[in-house]
Protein backbone atom coordinates (compact mmCIF):
# COMPACT_ATOMS: atom_id res chain seq x y z
CA UNK A 1 0.00 0.00 0.00
CA UNK A 2 1.48 3.34 -1.09
CA UNK A 3 1.05 6.54 0.87
CA UNK A 4 -1.76 8.58 -0.74
CA UNK A 5 0.23 11.75 0.02
CA UNK A 6 3.47 10.52 -1.51
CA UNK A 7 3.46 13.41 -3.97
CA UNK A 8 3.98 15.92 -1.18
CA UNK A 9 7.11 18.05 -0.98
CA UNK A 10 8.58 15.91 1.81
CA UNK A 11 9.51 12.24 1.35
CA UNK A 12 7.47 9.52 3.05
CA UNK A 13 8.56 8.78 6.61
CA UNK A 14 7.69 5.09 6.53
CA UNK A 15 5.01 2.59 5.49
CA UNK A 16 1.46 3.80 4.86
CA UNK A 17 -0.31 2.50 7.96
CA UNK A 18 -2.47 5.50 8.89
CA UNK A 19 -5.88 5.13 7.19
CA UNK A 20 -8.37 7.89 6.54
CA UNK A 21 -10.78 7.72 9.48
CA UNK A 22 -13.86 8.23 7.32
CA UNK A 23 -13.47 6.15 4.17
CA UNK A 24 -10.84 3.66 5.43
CA UNK A 25 -9.73 3.27 1.80
CA UNK A 26 -6.55 5.38 1.52
CA UNK A 27 -3.59 5.36 3.89
CA UNK A 28 -0.73 7.69 4.79
CA UNK A 29 2.77 7.41 6.17
CA UNK A 30 2.27 10.32 8.59
CA UNK A 31 -0.11 13.01 9.82
CA UNK A 32 1.78 15.64 7.79
CA UNK A 33 1.19 13.78 4.52
CA UNK A 34 -2.48 13.24 5.42
CA UNK A 35 -2.91 16.98 6.02
CA UNK A 36 -1.06 17.83 2.81
CA UNK A 37 -3.38 15.52 0.85
CA UNK A 38 -6.60 16.73 2.49
CA UNK A 39 -7.77 19.09 -0.29
CA UNK A 40 -7.40 16.33 -2.86
CA UNK A 41 -8.88 13.55 -0.77
CA UNK A 42 -11.96 15.41 0.48
CA UNK A 43 -13.28 15.43 -3.10
CA UNK A 44 -13.21 11.65 -3.25
CA UNK A 45 -13.63 10.60 0.38
CA UNK A 46 -17.42 10.27 0.41
CA UNK A 47 -17.42 8.34 -2.86
CA UNK A 48 -14.76 5.95 -1.54
CA UNK A 49 -16.67 5.54 1.72
CA UNK A 50 -19.73 4.35 -0.22
CA UNK A 51 -17.60 1.93 -2.22
CA UNK A 52 -16.09 0.53 0.98
CA UNK A 53 -19.59 -0.13 2.32
CA UNK A 54 -20.25 -2.30 -0.74
CA UNK A 55 -16.99 -4.25 -0.41
CA UNK A 56 -18.83 -7.36 0.80
CA UNK A 57 -20.94 -7.37 -2.38
CA UNK A 58 -17.85 -7.11 -4.58
CA UNK A 59 -16.30 -10.10 -2.80
CA UNK A 60 -19.43 -12.25 -2.92
CA UNK A 61 -18.82 -15.40 -4.98
CA UNK A 62 -20.60 -18.79 -4.93
CA UNK A 63 -17.48 -20.97 -4.93
CA UNK A 64 -16.33 -23.31 -2.17
CA UNK A 65 -12.93 -21.59 -2.32
CA UNK A 66 -14.34 -18.04 -2.11
CA UNK A 67 -13.13 -17.33 1.44
CA UNK A 68 -9.57 -18.33 0.58
CA UNK A 69 -9.52 -16.51 -2.75
CA UNK A 70 -11.01 -13.26 -1.47
CA UNK A 71 -10.82 -12.43 2.25
CA UNK A 72 -7.75 -14.52 3.00
CA UNK A 73 -5.81 -13.10 0.04
CA UNK A 74 -6.78 -9.54 1.02
CA UNK A 75 -5.75 -10.22 4.63
CA UNK A 76 -2.50 -11.86 3.48
CA UNK A 77 -3.39 -15.17 5.14
CA UNK A 78 -3.34 -16.69 1.67
CA UNK A 79 -1.45 -15.65 -1.46
CA UNK A 80 -2.31 -16.23 -5.08
CA UNK A 81 0.62 -18.67 -5.16
CA UNK A 82 -0.56 -20.67 -2.14
CA UNK A 83 -4.10 -20.73 -3.52
CA UNK A 84 -2.91 -22.16 -6.84
CA UNK A 85 -0.55 -24.60 -5.08
CA UNK A 86 -3.45 -25.95 -3.00
CA UNK A 87 -5.39 -26.63 -6.20
CA UNK A 88 -2.39 -28.24 -7.92
CA UNK A 89 -2.22 -25.70 -10.75
CA UNK A 90 0.62 -23.43 -9.63
CA UNK A 91 2.93 -22.42 -12.52
CA UNK A 92 1.24 -24.89 -14.87
CA UNK A 93 0.07 -24.20 -18.44
CA UNK A 94 -2.55 -21.48 -18.74
CA UNK A 95 -2.32 -20.90 -14.96
CA UNK A 96 1.33 -19.80 -15.22
CA UNK A 97 0.69 -16.04 -15.25
CA UNK A 98 -1.85 -16.01 -12.40
CA UNK A 99 0.80 -15.34 -9.74
CA UNK A 100 3.83 -13.06 -9.63
CA UNK A 101 6.41 -15.86 -9.60
CA UNK A 102 4.80 -17.56 -12.59
CA UNK A 103 4.38 -14.31 -14.52
CA UNK A 104 8.11 -13.65 -14.18
CA UNK A 105 8.96 -16.83 -16.06
CA UNK A 106 9.56 -16.33 -19.77
CA UNK A 107 6.99 -18.30 -21.71
CA UNK A 108 7.08 -19.41 -25.29
CA UNK A 109 4.08 -17.30 -26.25
CA UNK A 110 4.18 -18.42 -29.85
CA UNK A 111 2.82 -21.85 -28.87
CA UNK A 112 -0.84 -22.08 -27.93
CA UNK A 113 -1.29 -23.60 -24.47
CA UNK A 114 -4.15 -25.96 -25.16
CA UNK A 115 -5.36 -27.49 -21.90
CA UNK A 116 -6.89 -26.79 -18.49
CA UNK A 117 -4.64 -29.17 -16.53
CA UNK A 118 -7.81 -30.29 -14.78
CA UNK A 119 -9.98 -33.42 -14.90
CA UNK A 120 -12.96 -33.47 -17.26
CA UNK A 121 -15.33 -33.10 -14.31
CA UNK A 122 -13.76 -29.76 -13.41
CA UNK A 123 -13.56 -27.98 -16.77
CA UNK A 124 -15.70 -27.15 -19.84
CA UNK A 125 -13.87 -29.38 -22.31
CA UNK A 126 -16.92 -30.51 -24.30
CA UNK A 127 -20.25 -29.30 -25.65
CA UNK A 128 -22.85 -28.13 -23.10
CA UNK A 129 -25.29 -30.87 -22.14
CA UNK A 130 -28.30 -28.52 -21.92
CA UNK A 131 -29.65 -25.57 -23.86
CA UNK A 132 -28.02 -22.19 -23.22
CA UNK A 133 -30.18 -19.93 -20.99
CA UNK A 134 -31.32 -16.72 -22.65
CA UNK A 135 -29.00 -14.78 -20.34
CA UNK A 136 -26.36 -16.12 -17.96
CA UNK A 137 -26.57 -13.87 -14.92
CA UNK A 138 -23.43 -14.90 -13.05
CA UNK A 139 -20.97 -17.61 -12.08
CA UNK A 140 -23.42 -19.87 -10.23
CA UNK A 141 -25.79 -20.06 -13.17
CA UNK A 142 -22.90 -20.60 -15.58
CA UNK A 143 -21.41 -23.44 -13.49
CA UNK A 144 -24.82 -25.13 -13.20
CA UNK A 145 -25.39 -24.88 -16.95
CA UNK A 146 -21.92 -26.29 -17.73
CA UNK A 147 -22.27 -28.98 -15.00
CA UNK A 148 -19.05 -27.87 -13.29
CA UNK A 149 -18.70 -28.24 -9.49
CA UNK A 150 -18.30 -25.06 -7.47
CA UNK A 151 -14.88 -26.20 -6.25
CA UNK A 152 -13.48 -25.94 -9.78
CA UNK A 153 -11.21 -22.89 -10.30
CA UNK A 154 -11.92 -22.46 -14.04
CA UNK A 155 -13.62 -19.10 -13.40
CA UNK A 156 -10.15 -17.74 -12.59
CA UNK A 157 -9.39 -17.99 -16.33
CA UNK A 158 -12.88 -17.85 -17.82
CA UNK A 159 -13.42 -14.29 -16.62
CA UNK A 160 -11.77 -13.13 -19.89
CA UNK A 161 -14.22 -14.67 -22.39
CA UNK A 162 -17.23 -14.28 -20.09
CA UNK A 163 -16.51 -10.60 -19.48
CA UNK A 164 -16.57 -10.28 -23.27
CA UNK A 165 -19.86 -12.24 -23.27
CA UNK A 166 -21.30 -9.83 -20.69
CA UNK A 167 -20.17 -6.72 -22.62
CA UNK A 168 -21.84 -8.06 -25.78
CA UNK A 169 -25.06 -8.78 -23.87
CA UNK A 170 -25.04 -5.27 -22.35
CA UNK A 171 -24.54 -3.81 -25.83
CA UNK A 172 -27.50 -5.79 -27.20
CA UNK A 173 -29.72 -4.89 -24.24
CA UNK A 174 -28.85 -1.21 -24.68
CA UNK A 175 -29.55 -1.35 -28.44
CA UNK A 176 -25.94 -0.39 -29.11
CA UNK A 177 -25.55 -3.32 -31.48
CA UNK A 178 -28.24 -5.39 -33.24
CA UNK A 179 -29.31 -8.83 -32.07
CA UNK A 180 -26.54 -11.33 -32.74
CA UNK A 181 -27.05 -13.36 -35.91
CA UNK A 182 -24.24 -15.47 -37.34
CA UNK A 183 -21.16 -13.23 -37.06
CA UNK A 184 -19.45 -10.92 -34.55
CA UNK A 185 -16.35 -8.79 -34.99
CA UNK A 186 -14.58 -7.62 -31.85
CA UNK A 187 -11.59 -5.35 -31.31
CA UNK A 188 -10.00 -6.41 -28.03
CA UNK A 189 -7.57 -3.83 -26.62
CA UNK A 190 -4.59 -4.24 -24.30
CA UNK A 191 -4.25 -8.03 -23.86
CA UNK A 192 -1.47 -9.17 -21.53
CA UNK A 193 -2.10 -12.33 -19.47
CA UNK A 194 -4.66 -13.38 -22.06
CA UNK A 195 -1.85 -14.11 -24.51
CA UNK A 196 -0.98 -17.16 -22.37
CA UNK A 197 -4.63 -18.13 -21.91
CA UNK A 198 -6.12 -17.84 -25.39
CA UNK A 199 -7.48 -21.40 -25.36
CA UNK A 200 -9.94 -20.30 -22.64
CA UNK A 201 -11.62 -18.11 -25.29
CA UNK A 202 -12.88 -21.30 -26.93
CA UNK A 203 -15.70 -21.13 -24.34
CA UNK A 204 -17.20 -18.49 -26.63
CA UNK A 205 -18.28 -21.51 -28.73
CA UNK A 206 -20.68 -22.42 -25.94
CA UNK A 207 -22.13 -18.99 -25.13
CA UNK A 208 -22.47 -17.93 -28.78
CA UNK A 209 -23.42 -21.18 -30.55
CA UNK A 210 -23.47 -20.99 -34.32
CA UNK A 211 -21.76 -17.59 -34.39
CA UNK A 212 -18.51 -16.94 -36.21
CA UNK A 213 -16.37 -14.63 -34.08
CA UNK A 214 -13.45 -12.61 -35.39
CA UNK A 215 -11.44 -11.07 -32.57
CA UNK A 216 -8.54 -8.71 -33.24
CA UNK A 217 -6.35 -8.43 -30.15
CA UNK A 218 -4.38 -5.18 -30.17
CA UNK A 219 -1.81 -3.93 -27.69
CA UNK A 220 1.79 -2.99 -26.93
CA UNK A 221 2.27 -6.14 -24.82
CA UNK A 222 2.00 -8.31 -27.94
CA UNK A 223 5.57 -9.22 -28.99
CA UNK A 224 6.62 -7.88 -32.36
CA UNK A 225 7.40 -11.41 -33.55
CA UNK A 226 3.73 -12.31 -33.01
CA UNK A 227 2.41 -9.30 -34.90
CA UNK A 228 -0.07 -10.55 -37.50
CA UNK A 229 -0.30 -14.03 -35.99
CA UNK A 230 -3.61 -15.76 -36.69
CA UNK A 231 -5.11 -18.36 -34.37
CA UNK A 232 -8.16 -20.52 -34.93
CA UNK A 233 -9.81 -22.13 -31.94
CA UNK A 234 -11.50 -25.16 -33.45
CA UNK A 235 -12.80 -26.79 -30.28
CA UNK A 236 -12.80 -26.49 -26.50
CA UNK A 237 -9.62 -26.44 -24.43
CA UNK A 238 -9.00 -30.01 -23.29
CA UNK A 239 -8.82 -31.71 -19.90
CA UNK A 240 -6.12 -34.08 -18.62
CA UNK A 241 -7.81 -37.23 -19.95
CA UNK A 242 -6.05 -38.79 -22.93
CA UNK A 243 -9.28 -39.37 -24.85
CA UNK A 244 -10.54 -35.80 -24.37
CA UNK A 245 -12.18 -34.49 -27.52
CA UNK A 246 -11.35 -30.87 -26.72
CA UNK A 247 -8.67 -29.65 -29.07
CA UNK A 248 -7.42 -26.19 -30.05
CA UNK A 249 -4.90 -25.47 -32.78
CA UNK A 250 -3.08 -22.61 -34.41
CA UNK A 251 -3.13 -22.03 -38.14
CA UNK A 252 -3.58 -19.29 -40.68
CA UNK A 253 -7.09 -18.62 -41.87
CA UNK A 254 -8.96 -16.45 -44.32
CA UNK A 255 -12.25 -14.61 -43.87
CA UNK A 256 -14.12 -17.12 -46.03
CA UNK A 257 -12.54 -20.34 -44.81
CA UNK A 258 -15.70 -21.55 -43.02
CA UNK A 259 -19.01 -22.51 -44.52
CA UNK A 260 -21.96 -20.29 -43.69
CA UNK A 261 -23.37 -20.78 -40.20
CA UNK A 262 -20.37 -22.70 -38.86
CA UNK A 263 -19.24 -21.69 -35.37
CA UNK A 264 -15.62 -20.63 -35.04
CA UNK A 265 -13.40 -18.38 -32.94
CA UNK A 266 -10.74 -16.67 -35.01
CA UNK A 267 -8.12 -14.46 -33.40
CA UNK A 268 -5.51 -12.17 -34.87
CA UNK A 269 -2.75 -10.42 -32.93
CA UNK A 270 -1.59 -6.85 -33.60
CA UNK A 271 1.41 -5.32 -31.82
CA UNK A 272 1.03 -1.62 -31.00
CA UNK A 273 -1.55 0.91 -29.84
CA UNK A 274 -5.06 0.80 -31.24
CA UNK A 275 -4.96 4.31 -32.69
CA UNK A 276 -1.81 3.37 -34.60
CA UNK A 277 -3.15 0.01 -35.83
CA UNK A 278 -6.71 0.98 -36.69
CA UNK A 279 -6.18 1.81 -40.38
CA UNK A 280 -4.86 -1.68 -41.06
CA UNK A 281 -7.58 -3.25 -38.90
CA UNK A 282 -10.30 -1.37 -40.75
CA UNK A 283 -9.38 -2.77 -44.16
CA UNK A 284 -11.97 -5.48 -43.55
CA UNK A 285 -15.40 -5.12 -41.99
CA UNK A 286 -15.69 -2.66 -39.06
CA UNK A 287 -16.07 -4.09 -35.55
CA UNK A 288 -19.41 -4.52 -33.84
CA UNK A 289 -17.83 -3.81 -30.48
CA UNK A 290 -14.61 -2.68 -28.82
CA UNK A 291 -13.61 -4.00 -25.41
CA UNK A 292 -10.68 -2.98 -23.20
CA UNK A 293 -10.38 -5.26 -20.13
CA UNK A 294 -8.58 -3.86 -17.06
CA UNK A 295 -7.88 -0.78 -19.13
CA UNK A 296 -6.36 1.59 -16.56
CA UNK A 297 -7.51 4.55 -18.64
CA UNK A 298 -6.60 7.12 -15.97
CA UNK A 299 -3.12 5.64 -15.53
CA UNK A 300 -1.91 5.80 -19.14
CA UNK A 301 -1.93 8.89 -21.36
CA UNK A 302 -1.70 6.61 -24.40
CA UNK A 303 -5.45 6.01 -24.01
CA UNK A 304 -6.35 9.58 -25.01
CA UNK A 305 -5.78 9.23 -28.79
CA UNK A 306 -7.50 5.83 -28.67
CA UNK A 307 -10.58 7.36 -27.01
CA UNK A 308 -10.55 10.15 -29.59
CA UNK A 309 -10.55 7.48 -32.31
CA UNK A 310 -13.43 5.59 -30.65
CA UNK A 311 -15.41 8.82 -30.55
CA UNK A 312 -14.71 9.39 -34.25
CA UNK A 313 -15.61 5.90 -35.49
CA UNK A 314 -18.75 5.69 -33.28
CA UNK A 315 -18.33 2.05 -32.28
CA UNK A 316 -19.61 1.10 -28.80
CA UNK A 317 -16.69 0.45 -26.45
CA UNK A 318 -16.62 -1.23 -23.05
CA UNK A 319 -13.93 -0.74 -20.43
CA UNK A 320 -13.39 -2.76 -17.27
CA UNK A 321 -11.10 -2.18 -14.32
CA UNK A 322 -10.05 -3.63 -10.97
CA UNK A 323 -12.32 -1.51 -8.77
CA UNK A 324 -15.14 1.01 -9.04
CA UNK A 325 -12.88 3.96 -8.28
CA UNK A 326 -10.63 3.11 -11.23
CA UNK A 327 -13.74 3.22 -13.45
CA UNK A 328 -14.75 6.58 -11.96
CA UNK A 329 -11.34 7.99 -12.83
CA UNK A 330 -11.56 6.42 -16.30
CA UNK A 331 -14.93 8.09 -16.95
CA UNK A 332 -13.44 11.43 -15.97
CA UNK A 333 -10.84 10.89 -18.71
CA UNK A 334 -13.20 9.56 -21.38
CA UNK A 335 -15.78 12.28 -20.74
CA UNK A 336 -13.14 14.98 -21.18
CA UNK A 337 -12.63 13.66 -24.72
CA UNK A 338 -16.16 12.64 -25.71
CA UNK A 339 -18.00 15.44 -23.84
CA UNK A 340 -20.56 12.82 -22.86
CA UNK A 341 -21.46 10.54 -19.99
CA UNK A 342 -21.12 6.77 -20.39
CA UNK A 343 -23.86 5.10 -22.43
CA UNK A 344 -23.71 2.16 -20.02
CA UNK A 345 -23.02 3.30 -16.44
CA UNK A 346 -20.48 1.69 -14.14
CA UNK A 347 -21.71 -1.64 -12.83
CA UNK A 348 -20.37 -4.71 -11.09
CA UNK A 349 -19.34 -7.37 -13.57
CA UNK A 350 -20.99 -10.69 -12.59
CA UNK A 351 -18.13 -12.49 -14.36
CA UNK A 352 -15.23 -10.76 -12.56
CA UNK A 353 -12.29 -12.96 -11.62
CA UNK A 354 -12.94 -14.62 -8.23
CA UNK A 355 -9.35 -14.23 -7.01
CA UNK A 356 -8.36 -11.01 -5.26
CA UNK A 357 -5.55 -8.80 -6.53
CA UNK A 358 -2.63 -8.71 -4.11
CA UNK A 359 -1.14 -5.42 -2.85
CA UNK A 360 -3.68 -3.14 -4.49
CA UNK A 361 -3.27 0.64 -4.38
CA UNK A 362 -6.37 1.04 -2.18
CA UNK A 363 -7.90 -0.90 0.69
CA UNK A 364 -10.86 -1.58 -1.57
CA UNK A 365 -11.11 -5.22 -2.70
CA UNK A 366 -9.82 -5.45 -6.27
CA UNK A 367 -10.52 -8.15 -8.83
CA UNK A 368 -9.60 -8.51 -12.48
CA UNK A 369 -12.46 -7.20 -14.68
CA UNK A 370 -14.32 -6.20 -11.52
CA UNK A 371 -16.42 -3.24 -12.81
CA UNK A 372 -17.45 -2.38 -16.35
CA UNK A 373 -18.94 0.57 -18.25
CA UNK A 374 -19.58 1.49 -21.87
CA UNK A 375 -19.15 4.61 -23.99
Which domains are seen in the chain, by residue range? 1-59 (no CATH), 106-241+262-374 (3.40.50)
Per-residue pLDDT at 41 exceeds 70: yes
pLDDT of residue 207: 96
The sign of the dihedral angle between the CA atoms of 202, 195, 287, 176 is positive
pLDDT of residue 189: 98
Q: Of 77, 78, 105, whose CA–CA distance to 91 is shortest?
A: 105
pTM: 0.89
- The answer to whether the CB of 140 falls within 8 A of the CB of 62 is yes
pLDDT of residue 110: 55
In angstroms, how far is CA 16 from the centroid of its own chain?
A: 29
pLDDT of residue 261: 39
Per-residue pLDDT at 246 exceeds 70: no
Spatial separation of the C-alpha atoms in residues 288 and 78, rounded to whole Å: 41
Q: Work out the burial of residue 140: count CB atoms within 10 Å of its CB; fewer than 13 is exposed, 13-18 middle, 19 or more buried.
A: middle
Residue 125, C-beta contacts closer than 8 angstroms, at least 6 positions apart: 116, 236, 237, 238, 239, 244, 245, 246
- The CA angle 341-343-345, to the nearest 5 degrees, is 80
Neighbours of 110 (CB within 10 A): 11
- The answer to whether the CB of 222 falls within 8 A of the CB of 266 is no
Q: What is the mean pLDDT of residues 42-47?
A: 86
pLDDT of residue 46: 87
pLDDT of residue 109: 56
The pLDDT tens digits for 48-107 are: 888 888 889 999 999 999 999 999 998 889 999 999 999 999 999 999 999 988 766 655
Q: Are strands 27-28 and 18-19 parallel, antiparallel or unpaired?
A: antiparallel
Spatial separation of the C-alpha atoms in residues 270 and 230, rounded to whole Å: 10
- The more confidently predicted of residues 148 and 101 is 148
pLDDT of residue 255: 31
Spatial separation of the C-alpha atoms in residues 48 and 68, rounded to whole Å: 25
Q: Residue 122 — pLDDT band, cuts 50, 70, 90? A: very high
- The more confidently predicted of residues 10 and 333 is 333
Cα Rg for the chain, rounded, in angstroms?
21
The pLDDT tens digits for 293-343 are: 999 999 999 999 999 999 999 999 999 999 999 999 999 999 999 999 999
pLDDT, mean over the chain: 89
Per-residue pLDDT at 247 exceeds 50: no
Least-confidence region, from 91-100, 132-141, 248-257, 352-361: 248-257
pLDDT of residue 107: 52
Spatial separation of the C-alpha atoms in residues 183 and 163, rounded to whole Å: 18
pLDDT of residue 12: 86
CA distances to 32, 36, 42, 45, 351 from 39, rounded to whole Å, are: 13, 7, 6, 10, 36
Spatial separation of the C-alpha atoms in residues 166 and 169, rounded to whole Å: 5
Residue 337 DSSP symbol = H
pLDDT of residue 251: 43
CA distances to 77, 241, 324, 357, 365 from 70, rounded to whole Å, are: 10, 30, 17, 9, 8
- The more confidently predicted of residues 7 and 40 is 40
Q: What is the mean pLDDT of residues 173-193?
A: 94
The pLDDT tens digits for 262-286 are: 558 999 999 999 999 999 887 778 9
Q: In what order do the strands lie in the sheet with 344-348?
A: 230-233, 264-271, 212-219, 183-189, 289-292, 317-321, 371-374, 344-348
pLDDT of residue 260: 34
Name the E strands within the chain: 18-19, 27-28, 183-189, 212-219, 230-233, 264-271, 289-292, 317-321, 344-348, 371-374
Q: Work out the burial of residue 332: count CB atoms within 10 Å of its CB; fewer than 13 is exposed, 13-18 middle, 19 or more buried.
A: exposed
Per-residue pLDDT at 256 exceeds 50: no
Amino acid sequence: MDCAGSGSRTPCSGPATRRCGRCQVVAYCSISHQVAHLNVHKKECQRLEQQMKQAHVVSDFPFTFSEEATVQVCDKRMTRCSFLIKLGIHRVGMWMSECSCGASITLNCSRLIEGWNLSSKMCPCREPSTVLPELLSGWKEYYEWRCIPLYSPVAVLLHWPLTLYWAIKLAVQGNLIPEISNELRIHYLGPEKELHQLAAFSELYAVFPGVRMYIDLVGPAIPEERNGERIELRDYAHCTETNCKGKCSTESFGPTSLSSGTSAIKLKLHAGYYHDCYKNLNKGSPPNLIIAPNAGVAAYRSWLPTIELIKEIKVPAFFSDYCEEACNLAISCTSSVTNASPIVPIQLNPFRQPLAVEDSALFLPCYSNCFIFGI
